[in-house]
Chain A
Amino acid sequence: MTRSEVIKDLKKRFDEDILDIFDKTLTRVYIEIKPQAIVKVATYVFKNLGARFNIASGVDTFKHIEILYHFTFEDINLVVSFRVKLDKSKLEIDSLAPIFEGANWIEREIAEMLGVNFRGHPELKRLLLPDEWPQGVYPLRRDYQEWDDSSIRDRGL
């Protein structure tokens, strides 16, 4: 499968789910999809097209929380990033961890760093932050406030 065939195939198969396609360079494509379609798209890309899941990266863009799911097509040197925009009032999306293990840790990370709830994740517990970190404080949000007065930076060290 060539690069244009992959894009055409995705366009045809998920026509009503795709909101926008941004063809950046020869090796990068960004596709914005509806949040409820992510399981369908990821399953097809991972199982049928044999792409490898690199990682997901979450971004706080003030209005939304964006999650980019990066998939690499090894044979044709193409990175396809599926972008979903989640409304800040209802931060929920279906989990990819039941489909493939590789999504397990990164979803836990995004959940604690940006406060996104992944529905159907097998063990959505804390991965990186310490146990005494308060509930509902998300360090990678734009409106994050320092909550710990005794942290090293505040002591002037």
Chain B
Amino acid sequence: MGKRTIVPIGPYHPLQEEPEFFSLTVDGETVVDIDVQIGYNHRGIEKLSERKTFDQSTFVIERICGICSTSHPYAYTRAVEDVIPLEVPMRAKYIRTIIAEGERIHSHLLWLGLAGHFLGYNTVYMWAWKLREEILDVMEALSGNRNNYAMFKPGGVRRDIKKEDIPFAIKKIDSIIPTLEMLKKAVIDDPVLHARTKGIGILTKDEAINFCALGPVSRASGVARDLRKNSPYGAYDQFNWNMIVTKNGDVFDKAVVRILETFESIDMVKYCLLNLPDTEIDAKIKSIPSGEGIGHIEAPRGECFHYVKSDGTNRPARHKVRAPTFMNLPTYKATVVGETISDATIILASIDPCYCCTERVAVRNTKGKKIYNGEDLVRLSQSKTEKIKSKLGIK
């Protein structure tokens, strides 16, 4: 056994609600152990929510994360509606589905871009983020905001979608399909990407079940679990769509799941926009009785779960938030051990779309002397890509 060193990754990174600190123990270039620490930016949202009224809480929890900014209010409003219990009007369900799926498209594209960037494949990064701009324009036209849409409220939605905005949205969404097709071919058929991602960071089916992971992380491992299918909410049971499941569980499969899901989401958004039912958009809740409720939805990254306990006042007595990453991140331990240090970043990326912490990576020897920084690790990763390219004979 060679000399073991500790590789600290983190703690701060700008894309995620929780900065994290990973300390990887490496033997030569192989990762042998990992310790994850979170909580560097614990903001006490659950406690804060207990001091707000039910309506105000929607805005507070929308700010848990800028990228999943719809998932948390969606799960929370479902939890409040479960306390009463109450069915929201059909038009509100359709509008909620449009917003949630629009968010999935931009979240998956953002992830794809970052994954490409850290593999040293900046073409993917630029194309994906250019496409993401288009879908953000659609969201701006429909909701007024490019992110943090503030569309949800317990009982329905806050704003209606205007008839005159729909043609613009459809045109924009249609315009991204050919580029997305091209991108799909570029990613799925590229031999360099195959060499960098296939068979790397494998999460087996048993591990996915044991860690209780959900979302693209578990569907790539062959676990056919999707809350939109299993416990339908919103308008997901009104039309046909496919659940994307692959079986290898490596980084490549997780990318494939996300790309193919984007196409499904585009179809869903288009269907909902064209078939908006003509009902009320708000059930107009008068008061919330005492009781407890659970709301869970399928966020782009996994399951978002909210538990609300009401004691009959206008504030939640207890509000528990479970973010998707909370259950998916521990799977990093199962996937990274045994892999090389240059793949550690992309394996982390494959679990969770937010991994800018790689900017802060430093490799130290046991005396604490700095050897590599984040740029060096990106360079290491890129040089591995170059090596594979020359081995495969690609320029």
Contact = CB atoms under 8 A, between A and B. Distances in A.
Contact of B296 (A54, A59, A100): A54
B322 A102 contact: no
A11 to B, nearest CB: 21
A101 B212 CA distance: 8
Contact of B42 (A72, A74, A103, A129): A129
Interface stretch (A32-40, A75-83, A86-94): A75-83
Interface in B29-57: 37-39, 42, 44, 46-47
B330 A57 contact: no
Interface stretch (B303-311, B352-360, B379-387): B303-311
A27 interface: yes
Interface string B216-249: 0000000001000011100000000000000000
A131 to B, nearest CB: 10
Contact of B309 (A59, A105, A106): A59
Interface string B7-38: 00000000000000000000000000000011
A122 B345 CA distance: 27
A106 B329 CA distance: 12
Interface in A40-57: 52-55, 57
B146 interface: no
A54 B47 contact: no
Given A75-B230, A102-B212, A54 B309 contact: no
Contact of A140 (B37, B47, B292, B327): B47
Contact of A74 (B47, B210, B225, B305): B225
A80 B129 CA distance: 41
Nearest to B83: A24
Contact of B294 (A28, A102, A104, A128): A28
A44 B230 CA distance: 21
A68 B318 CA distance: 12
A30 B1 CA distance: 52
Chain B residues touching A, majority SS: mixed
A55 B327 CA distance: 9
B232 to A, nearest CB: 8
B372 interface: no
A85 interface: no
B103 to A, nearest CB: 21
A101 B211 contact: yes
A43 B232 CA distance: 27
B259 interface: no
Interface in B293-315: 293-294, 296, 303, 305, 307, 309
B212 A100 contact: yes
Interface string A53-68: 1110111100000001
B322 A54 contact: yes
A124 interface: no
A31 to B, nearest CB: 13
Given A28-B294, A57-B320, A77-B231, A105 B225 contact: no
B85 interface: yes
Contacts of B209: 52
A101 B330 contact: yes
Interface of B: 37-39, 42, 44, 46-47, 82, 85, 209-214, 225, 230-232, 292-294, 296, 303, 305, 307, 309, 317-318, 320, 322, 326-327, 330
24 contacts: A25-B82, A52-B209, A52-B225, A54-B296, A54-B305, A55-B320, A57-B320, A68-B307, A72-B230, A77-B230, A77-B232, A79-B294, A81-B294, A100-B210, A100-B212, A101-B212, A102-B327, A105-B330, A106-B322, A127-B38, A128-B42, A139-B44, A140-B46, A140-B47
Given A101-B330, A102-B210, 20 more contacts: A24-B82, A27-B231, A28-B82, A54-B296, A55-B307, A55-B320, A55-B326, A57-B322, A70-B294, A70-B305, A77-B231, A79-B231, A79-B296, A100-B210, A100-B212, A102-B212, A102-B213, A106-B326, A127-B39, A129-B39
